[in-house]
């Protein structure tokens, strides 16, 4: 099977050897694009004339990929044939490229390709092809990628800063890289970003407003949650992002609540969470543990999952759904203060 061991990924992206076709797939389109770009730069040596883009409309031209891969760049080296929106329609063209004379390499991106895809089945069975899954990174894996990208940009970051970046920006790889580039410019070449630098350079708009909204909601501060939500949506936050953030917050609070129910103090329960809670968010989470109990948090998680599904599929404006869901949390917490929810 032409699947790459994750431990070999950095070396492969730097030098794919004799591989003729590479497919990047998975649920993180930004990560697929990042890795495809990295491979393209390594093979082409940065020569833009050695790279050709093939649109999805050309999928029916069976011999096109093979013909393009057979051409030699004007300045020598190896040609890179990019297909950014690959699908099963490219299966025949990919098969022809594998059998063609080369020496170029075909780099395909298909983030939404199903598991039973003909294109995947073809390439996974081909000795001269490589299939690389690009799933959303989390936890220690995501933190390591953040440190690596910052190192590429010539800067570093304190652990607390990396924690916040992983917690807030991990869902969108393209946005993550853009924000890390902003952070690198903010601290300057060779700089080391603190948590305060991150808040100033990255979290100045919707990210921290959304965190404030969640903190206020789970503490029963209805007015504070409403103001922070208004600021977050006004600065461009998406409703689905808000609902996912609320679900993550609920899940982490549930983990801590289970520890408290077993005898841990709120501070110890929050400090034990992994990845660690960003330092500015810890006091609010500790106070929320005095309000929320395990059964209520379990039910809330199920409700938020359903709200996200509705936001994606119903005709109701998704911002209205997200606002309704988060303010309902605040109203419930307000009603439960003193006796617990």
- CATH number of the domain at 303, please: 1.20.272.10
Note the pLDDT of residue 138: 79
Q: Is 264 within the bounds of a domain?
A: yes
CA torsion angle 74 123 65 40 (round to 10):
-30
Q: How far apart are CA 256 and CA 11, in angstroms?
A: 39
Is 92 in the same domain as 75?
Answer: yes
Q: State mean pLDDT over 51-64.
A: 93
Is 215 in the same domain as 282?
Answer: yes
**Is there a contact between 66 and 95 (Cβ–Cβ < 8 Å)?**
no
Q: Distance of alpha carbon 338 from its chain centroid, rounded?
A: 38
Q: Lowest-confidence range among 5-9, 234-238, 288-292, 326-330?
A: 234-238
Is 104 in the same domain as 171?
Answer: no
Residue where one domain finishes, among candidates 148, 178, 201: 201
**pLDDT tens track for 127-169:** 999 999 998 887 788 888 999 999 999 999 998 889 888 877 7
Note the pLDDT of residue 292: 94
> What does residue 22 show for φ and ψ, rounded to 5 degrees?
-125, 130
Is 216 in the same domain as 328?
Answer: yes
H/E segment holding residue 324? helix 318-336
Note the pLDDT of residue 175: 79
The answer on pLDDT for 107 being more than 90 is yes
Q: How confident is the model at residue 27 (pLDDT cuts 50, 70, 90)?
A: confident
**Is there a contact between 83 and 65 (Cβ–Cβ < 8 Å)?**
yes
Q: Is 341 within the bounds of a domain?
A: no
Q: Of residues 127 and 7, which shows the higher confidence score?
A: 127
Q: State mean pLDDT over 103-131.
A: 92
**pLDDT tens track for 245-280:** 899 899 999 999 999 999 999 999 999 887 778 777
Is 169 in the same domain as 60?
Answer: no
Q: Is 245 within the bounds of a domain?
A: yes
Q: Is 1 within the bounds of a domain?
A: no
Of all residues in the chain, what percent are helix, strand and coil, respectively (each to 5)?
Answer: 60, 10, 30
State the total domains in the chain.
3
Tally Cβ neighbours within 10 Å of residue 135.
Answer: 12
Q: How far apart are CA 273 and CA 251, in angstroms?
A: 11
- Of the candidates 217, 175, 178, which has an alpha carbon nearest to the alpha carbon of residue 337? 217
Is 47 in the same domain as 113?
Answer: yes
**Is there a contact between 21 and 94 (Cβ–Cβ < 8 Å)?**
yes
DSSP letter (8 states) at residue 18: T
Is 269 in the same domain as 147?
Answer: no
**pLDDT tens track for 181-203:** 999 999 999 999 988 888 778 75
Is 128 in the same domain as 20?
Answer: yes
Q: Is 18 within the bounds of a domain?
A: yes
- The per-residue pLDDT of the chain, averaged, comes to 87
Q: How far apart are CA 196 and CA 303, in angstroms?
A: 34
Q: How far apart are CA 235 and CA 228, in angstroms?
A: 11
- Of the candidates 341, 339, 316, 315, which has an alpha carbon nearest to the alpha carbon of residue 328? 341
Give the structural domain span for 225: 206-336
CA torsion angle 241 245 250 256 (round to 10):
160
**pLDDT tens track for 201-213:** 875 555 667 888 9
291: three-class secondary structure by DSSP: coil
DSSP letter (8 states) at residue 217: H
Residue 126: which residues within 8 A CB-CB, separation 6 or more? 2, 21, 98
- CATH number of the domain at 114, please: 3.40.50.300
> What does residue 266 show for φ and ψ, rounded to 5 degrees?
-55, -40
Is 247 in the same domain as 311?
Answer: yes
Task: Give first-to-last CA distance, the chain, whole Å.
Answer: 52
DSSP letter (8 states) at residue 101: -
Between the alpha carbon of residue 67 and those of residues 75, 96, 102, 104, 300, the distances in Å are: 18, 9, 8, 10, 56
Q: Is 214 within the bounds of a domain?
A: yes
Residue where one domain finishes, among candidates 181, 201, 221: 201
Q: Is 241 within the bounds of a domain?
A: yes
Q: Is 189 within the bounds of a domain?
A: yes
The answer on pLDDT for 1 being more than 60 is no
Is 64 in the same domain as 145?
Answer: no
Q: Lowest-confidence range among 4-13, 57-66, 215-224?
A: 4-13
Is 299 in the same domain as 246?
Answer: yes
**Is there a contact between 79 and 72 (Cβ–Cβ < 8 Å)?**
yes
Percent residues over pLDDT 70 in the chain: 94
The answer on pLDDT for 19 being more than 90 is yes
Is 185 in the same domain as 213?
Answer: no
Residue where one domain finishes, among candidates 104, 133, 162: 133
- CATH number of the domain at 148, please: 1.10.8.60
């Amino acid at each position: 099977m032409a699947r790459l061991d994750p431990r070999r990924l950095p070396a492969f992206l730097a030098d794919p050897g004799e591989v003729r076709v590479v497919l990047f797939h998975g649920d993180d389109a930004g990560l697929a694009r990042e890795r495809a770009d990295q491979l393209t730069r390594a093979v082409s040596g940065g020569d833009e004339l050695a790279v050709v883009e093939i649109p999805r409309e050309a999928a029916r031209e069976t011999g096109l990929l093979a013909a393009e891969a057979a051409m030699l760049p004007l300045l020598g080296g190896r040609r890179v044939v990019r297909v950014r929106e690959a699908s099963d329609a490219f299966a025949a063209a990919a098969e022809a490229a594998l059998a063609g004379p080369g020496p170029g390499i075909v780099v395909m991106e298909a983030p939404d390709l199903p598991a039973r895809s003909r294109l995947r089945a073809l390439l996974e069975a081909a000795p001269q092809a490589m299939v690389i899954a690009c799933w959303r990174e989390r936890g220690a894996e995501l933190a390591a990628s953040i440190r690596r990208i910052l190192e590429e940009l010539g800067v570093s970051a304190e652990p607390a800063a990396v924690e916040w970046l992983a917690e807030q920006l991990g869902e969108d790889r393209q946005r993550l890289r853009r924000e890390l580039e902003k952070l690198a410019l903010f601290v300057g070449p060779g700089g080391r970003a603190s948590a305060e630098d991150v808040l100033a350079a990255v979290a100045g708009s919707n990210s921290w407003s959304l965190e404030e909204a969640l903190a206020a909601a789970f503490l029963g501060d209805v007015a504070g949650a409403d103001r922070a939500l208004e600021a977050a949506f006004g600065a461009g936050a998406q409703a689905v992002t808000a609902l996912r953030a609320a679900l993550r917050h609920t899940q982490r609070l549930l983990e801590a609540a289970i520890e408290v129910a077993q005898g841990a103090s709120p501070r110890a329960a929050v400090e034990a969470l992994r990845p660690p809670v960003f330092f500015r968010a810890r006091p609010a989470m500790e106070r929320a543990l005095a309000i929320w109990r395990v059964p209520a948090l379990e039910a809330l998680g199920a409700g938020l999952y359903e709200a996200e599904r509705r936001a994606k599929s119903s005709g109701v404006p998704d911002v209205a759904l997200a606002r309704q869901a988060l303010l309902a949390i605040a109203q419930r917490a307000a009603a439960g203060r003193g006796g617990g929810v």
